[in-house]
């Protein structure tokens, strides 16, 4: 910002090109300054951050940090934009299916203010320190798990942080954790399209996104916002998962569409990505999640989800691993 007499000139550096809030930010800055006493003229310039500026904002792995020793082949974000659609469930069952197929898998719980991954897997802190970083918790199926809740003294203590702190925490959960060698790291994102999602997509080497939605028109609308955000940032969407698609009655075997006609095709068309799975409402799944036994869930839809995922983002496995599949 420069001030000359009664004229003010401001330059704003956006975190991403074609930021969807560009016009709003410019208008807000102009309005805030022009209403100040003695200001007669305001000029606002909108530019994009350089790579160096982004690194300064979101952080960069320090020399000797755990990230220097990690070998993660694929990083996949599980996203929605809307809360309560089952992102954590989809993240968990996909991680379990990959681990049971012989892949080395990790889950990063990026929902800093509402973490649920430790509860689903039934894991608890405290965490142990390694040579250059913190060691994640390993589940019974061999999934490596990291969540802010594993660092809290009590599981129900809230994390009351503003956006910049949340963004930096996500980069630390990625860079300061000794993930080791992984075929896949699944990142469970929180709802929304603001700081946490931007920090993840910009500071982590995300190879693709899985969008999770539910059948309702409202859900489709909000999830399409997340789709457009991913497209603006330039991260490919590899597939869509519809959760709570229907209820299959155990008495007569009929399918009941509790939420009415599905609007998931609207998300699929906007994302230009395939529908990987339609997961039904199942009381047993809810009970196992509450009991911390997500690894005991068996659904026919899991195989289709796994096959579609591996088709989009395959990795090479060692011969010894393939024999164990």
Q: Decide if 322 is inside a domain.
A: no
Domain housing 43 = 2-50
Element (H, E) at 290: helix 283-290
Residue 67: band (very low, low, confident or very high) from pLDDT cuts 50, 70, 90? low
108-160 pLDDT, tens digit each: 998 888 889 999 999 988 888 776 678 899 999 999 999 988 888 777 777 77
Q: Decide if 205 is inside a domain.
A: yes
Q: Decide if 324 is inside a domain.
A: no
Q: Residue 315 in 3-state DSSP?
A: coil
Q: Decide if 56 is inside a domain.
A: no
Query: To which residue do tokens 């869509």 refer?
Result: 240
Q: Decide if 320 is inside a domain.
A: no
Please answer whether residues 214 and 85 qualify as being in contact, where contact means their C-beta atoms are separated by less than 8 angstroms.
Answer: yes
Which pTM was predicted?
0.77
Question: 21 and 100: one domain?
Answer: no
Q: Which of 6-15, 17-26, 81-90, 165-174 has the lowest mean pLDDT?
A: 17-26
Question: 139 and 175: one domain?
Answer: yes
HSE-up of residue 199 (Cα within 13 Å, Cβ side): 29
Cβ-count burial 128-159 (b if 16+ within 10 Å, e if not): eeeeebbbbbebebbbbbbbbbbeeeeeeeeb
Question: 222 and 292: one domain?
Answer: yes
Question: 79 and 201: one domain?
Answer: yes
155-208 pLDDT, tens digit each: 777 777 776 777 778 888 888 888 999 999 999 998 887 777 888 888 888 999
Question: 118 and 7: one domain?
Answer: no
Closest to 118 in 3D by CA, of 92, 87, 81:
92
Overall domain count for the chain: 2
Query: To which residue do tokens 């199926």 refer?
Result: 141
Question: 114 and 261: one domain?
Answer: yes
d(CA 140, CA 252): 35
Q: Decide if 57 is inside a domain.
A: no
Element (H, E) at 92: helix 87-100
How high is the pLDDT of residue 136? 92
Closest to 165 in 3D by CA, of 145, 148, 153, 189:
148
Question: 40 and 87: one domain?
Answer: no
Six token digits for residue 300: 């026919």
State the SS3 of 225-285: HHHHHHHHHCCCEEEEEEEEEEEECCCCCCEECCCCCCCHHHHHHHHCCCEEEEEEECHHH
Q: Residue 31 in 3-state DSSP?
A: helix
Query: To which residue do tokens 């007569």 refer?
Result: 252
How high is the pLDDT of residue 194? 75
58 vs 276, which has greater pLDDT?
Answer: 276
Q: Decide if 236 is inside a domain.
A: yes
CATH assignment of the domain containing 299: 3.40.50.300
Please answer whether residues 107 and 183 qualify as being in contact, where contact means their C-beta atoms are separated by less than 8 angstroms.
Answer: no
d(CA 187, CA 190): 10
Please answer whether residues 188 and 196 qualify as being in contact, where contact means their C-beta atoms are separated by less than 8 angstroms.
Answer: no
Cis peptide before 126 (omega within 30 of 0): yes
* Axis crossing angle, helix 195-203 with helix 217-233, rounded to the nearest 10: 40
Question: 101 and 247: one domain?
Answer: yes
Question: 22 and 94: one domain?
Answer: no
Percent of the chain at pLDDT > 90 equals: 57
């Amino acid at each position: 910002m420069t001030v000359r007499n009664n004229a003010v000139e401001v330059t704003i550096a956006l975190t991403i090109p074609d930021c969807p809030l560009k016009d709003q930010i410019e208008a807000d800055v102009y309005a805030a300054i022009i209403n100040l006493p003695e200001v007669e003229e305001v000029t606002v310039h909108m530019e994009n951050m350089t790579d160096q500026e982004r690194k300064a904002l979101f952080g960069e792995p320090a020399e000797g940090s755990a990230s220097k020793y990690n070998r993660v082949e694929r990083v996949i974000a599980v996203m929605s934009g809307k809360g309560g659609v089952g992102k954590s469930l989809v993240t968990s069952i996909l991680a379990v299916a990959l681990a049971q197929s012989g892949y080395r898998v990790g889950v990063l719980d990026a929902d800093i203010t509402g973490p649920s991954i430790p509860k689903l897997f039934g894991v608890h802190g405290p965490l142990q320190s390694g040579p250059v970083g913190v060691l994640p918790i390993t589940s019974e199926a061999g999934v490596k798990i990291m969540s802010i809740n594993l660092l809290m003294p009590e599981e129900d203590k809230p994390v009351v942080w503003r956006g910049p702190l949340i963004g930096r925490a996500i980069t630390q959960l990625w860079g300061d954790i000794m993930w080791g060698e992984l075929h896949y790291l699944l990142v469970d994102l929180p709802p929304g399209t603001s700081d946490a999602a931007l920090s993840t997509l910009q500071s982590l080497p995300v190879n693709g996104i899985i969008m999770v939605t539910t059948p309702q028109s409202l859900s489709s609308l909000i999830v399409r916002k997340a789709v457009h955000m991913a497209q603006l940032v330039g991260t490919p969407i590899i597939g869509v998962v519809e959760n709570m698609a229907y209820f299959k009655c155990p008495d007569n075997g009929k399918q009941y569409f509790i939420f009415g006609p599905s609007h998931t095709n609207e998300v699929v068309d906007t994302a230009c990505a395939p529908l990987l799975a339609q997961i039904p409402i199942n009381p047993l799944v809810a009970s196992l999640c509450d009991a911390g036994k997500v690894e005991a869930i068996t659904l026919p839809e899991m195989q289709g989800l796994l096959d579609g995922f591996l088709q989009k983002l395959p990795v090479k496995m060692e011969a010894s691993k393939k024999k164990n599949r």
